[in-house]
A and B are shown apart, each in its own frame.
Chain A
Amino acid sequence: MCRKAATFNDDGYDERLSGGGLSTVFDMTSKAFTHAVDGLSGRDAHVQKAGDVAFEQTFVSSPAPLYGGLGPIFNNVSCISCHHNDGKGTPTAGDVRSSLLFRISTSGTNEHGGPAPMPGYGGQIQDQALQGVLPEAKISIVYADVAVTYPDGTVTHLRKPTYTMQSLYTPLTGVCSLSPRLAPPVFGLGLLATIPEETILAFADESDADGDGISGKANYVYNPQTRQTELGRFGLKANTSTIAVQVATAYQQDMGVTSAIQPQKSCFGQPQMNARDVNAAPDLPDSTLNAVIFYIKTLAVPARRDVLDPVVKRGQQLFAQLNCSGCHKPTIQTGVDMTLPAASNQRIHPYTDLLLHDMGDDLADNYTDYLANGSEWRTMPLWGIGLFEKTNGTPYYLHDGRARTIEEAILWHGGEANKAKNNFVQLSKTDRDAVISFLKSL
């Protein structure tokens, strides 16, 4: 009567569960990225909610009884202002709605092997400031039209951005690299954090030993909390190793709000620094910082849509045939996080290998970030990509939001992705549309 245990058939899994059984939520509205994973205890749900409230909270200047610490220089006043509905935002800079910020560096590296800060500016340009304080600079964005013609004669227009610093509060000293960064979605990170290191490293093929044109590389970065060098997996160039450091650094750099993990104001050493802030207690209470970290860690992944649609299925097949999945890995097994069962031993579909890849000259920002060179970017997770038009009204794709459609984003792929992109271009329109329909289902 006993049946010998057999391997579970791949067909037996529910394809819609991008975040696995416990971290997937069925919501395709603008709120799709804002839900907590299943199974949180009462206390955990309480902390998650506190983090949710803090994430949406506008901060004000100090002294203030609540939510003080904004500035003196900053990019925006709350997490949600850039991460609209916990997703990507709008690629403008210096505006209340802006979700684009710019990292800045000069030649060389800092004491930890990371980007060398530009004297007077630090590692990021803060383009807003409190009253009476000088913002570091403003960035002007100009787009040039680039037409791409398919073999079948169809033409698609891309827009190539040029970023220029203006209204500099102090001159630049030395070679300057600017890296535009559009606020990425913040869901699913707890799952990505639980992927075992060995799994990520197994995807790496820096010398392209298998000759498929893809040479994924791991980024090793400094963690200011543990003071170790660790595998990076978060951020557009995988320059951050943990969610805690990601959150604390975003508070510090993007809002000027200090915490126990990043206790120094972003303008330390600059004239914008307020004497009162030197050696001051952190702006953000530990409880709030921890709540926000927990909130981010426990955001669920939206379920896929239209998985049985034949066009979507055709697109899924083509995605594999084109070897998009060479970097955008469809299926990964997570490890164990004792504090988060919902992220443990889950079969997830993030469509990323979390590694750095050379994406070609057209996408290069010439900004080095630890081991990532000026053409390398971390593979962006594609889960949720079909919902960007819900969460932001108008969708924008790629690291700086230059692409207005998924098709444009594909056409920008170069470098290691050149082969896949060219094969995509060679497809018939029907097949190209199928690939895009598949991506929209994610």
Chain B
Amino acid sequence: MKNKIILLAAASFLSLTACNKKDDNNSTATDFNTLKTTVLADFTNNVALPSYGDLKTASDDLYAKLQTLNTSTNDANLTAAREAWKKMRGTWEQCEGFLFGPVEDNDYDPNMDTWPTDYNEMDSLLSHASSFTVADVSGYQLSLRGYHPIEYMIFGKDGNKTAADLTAKEKEYIIALAEDLKNTCTALYTSWSAAPENFAQQVIKAGNGSTKYTTKKEMYKVIVDGMAGICDEVGNGKMKDPYETYLTDPTLAPYGVESPYAGTSVADFKNNLIGLQNVYMGTYNGKTGLGLKDLVAAKNKSLDNNIQSKIAIAIASFDNITLPYGQAIATQRTQIQATMTALNDLQALLEGDLQAFVTQYITD
């Protein structure tokens, strides 16, 4: 009996070391204690900072493209501006995989991404305002700032606005909006990367000098909360609301769909989940490192497999929704329900088993 136990122990020890050797990518630290710190550092340096950096770059590019459109208003430049908008949107939606810290505390999220847009107010502005400066825009209500007013004006209600349709006032407003957006994205990046907030350091030094997160346990809870939160927002909010409203008021339902003019709604939802995946896997845009997956795998490979699988299922399910979301809620309801179910499953796993994992194993 004793020999059997020793053999079993030896076997599992061997398999453990084998696992560790295989997962040894960027970091050489593989013991759990060090892993807890390294994962935070890799998340910050490989996922969060580059994501926000790309967002800032994309906002600079959108601004530049809109200025070009302003000086040389033609359809080619309008298309270029639209592409820049879509690219920036995709990057932002991935950033929503970790909606904690300054993006939330400093209101950068609502400053950029409020829905719906207030069309009456916009029309009023365009008729009455003598000029638009970025200072004016930053004082407007949230429904007049950020992505969606820009989207409305460069895509048009049915997505078929032409360059000739753009009025001088609209162009002026668009430029001010883009500058405001650029300022927000720059401030967001700086809040993480530089003084006085240095939020990146607050995350990396969680439980080790951070003033915001005095334990690593709390830090991981917040990260997992962010993942579960975006599942909830997409599965029980952004997708569910129009889907359900369709049953009682089919003409009203499409108005609840975000990004309808650019037609990126489903792409946005999918990017939200890719952002979640980035956080879990520790990867972003080709860069790899340690992620939560490594922490979980170190103690409970089966849970890690389960999470990875549910994330992949959720992401893949979006590909079955092929119509613009405002139409899909009418004729692709089965596919939508399948996605929402996949999101709910993932959310339950994150809020349940993964949070329990954090409570049990991240004891600082």
Contact = CB atoms under 8 A, between A and B. Distances in A.
Interface of A: 27-31, 49, 53, 58-67, 70, 77-78, 81, 85, 96-97, 128, 130-132, 392-393
B121 A60 contact: yes
Contacts of A97: 107
A67 B116 contact: yes
Contacts, number: 76
A29 B221 CA distance: 8
B142 A62 contact: no
B119 interface: yes
B357 to A, nearest CB: 15
Contact of A96 (B100, B111, B236): B111
Interface of B: 100, 104-107, 110-111, 114-121, 124-125, 128, 139, 141-143, 218, 221-222, 225, 229, 236-237, 241, 252, 255-256
A64 B141 contact: no
A58 B104 contact: no
Contacts of B106: 393
Which of A61, A70, A78 has the largest count of B CB atoms less than 10 A from its CB?
A61
A132 B121 CA distance: 9
A62 B241 CA distance: 21
A78 B121 CA distance: 16
Given A29-B222, A58-B143, A393-B106, A66 B116 contact: yes
B176 to A, nearest CB: 15
B256 A77 contact: no
Contacts of B141: 58, 70, 77, 96, 128
A81 B222 contact: no
B142 A96 contact: yes
Contacts of A62: 120
19 contacts: A29-B222, A31-B225, A53-B237, A58-B114, A58-B141, A58-B142, A60-B143, A61-B118, A64-B118, A64-B119, A65-B255, A70-B141, A81-B110, A81-B142, A96-B111, A96-B141, A131-B128, A132-B124, A393-B105
Given A31-B225, A60-B121, 7 more contacts: A49-B236, A59-B143, A65-B252, A66-B255, A78-B142, A128-B141, A393-B106
Nearest to A53: B237
Nearest to A133: B124
A309 B117 CA distance: 50
A320 B114 CA distance: 47
A29 B100 CA distance: 10
Nearest to B254: A65
A77 to B, nearest CB: 5
A393 to B, nearest CB: 4
Contacts of A96: 107, 110-111, 139, 141-142
Which of B119, B139, B143 has the largest count of A CB atoms less than 10 A from its CB?
B143
Given A49-B236, A77-B141, A131-B124, A60 B255 contact: no
A256 B115 CA distance: 19
Nearest to A66: B255
A30 B105 contact: yes
Nearest to B238: A53
A77 B143 contact: yes
A70 B120 CA distance: 11
Contacts of A29: 100, 218, 221-222, 225
B241 A64 contact: no
B338 to A, nearest CB: 19
B278 to A, nearest CB: 20
Contacts of A53: 237, 241
A30 B222 contact: yes
Contact of B125 (A30, A31, A131, A392): A131
Contact of A132 (B128, B142, B256): B128
A30 B104 contact: yes
A369 to B, nearest CB: 29
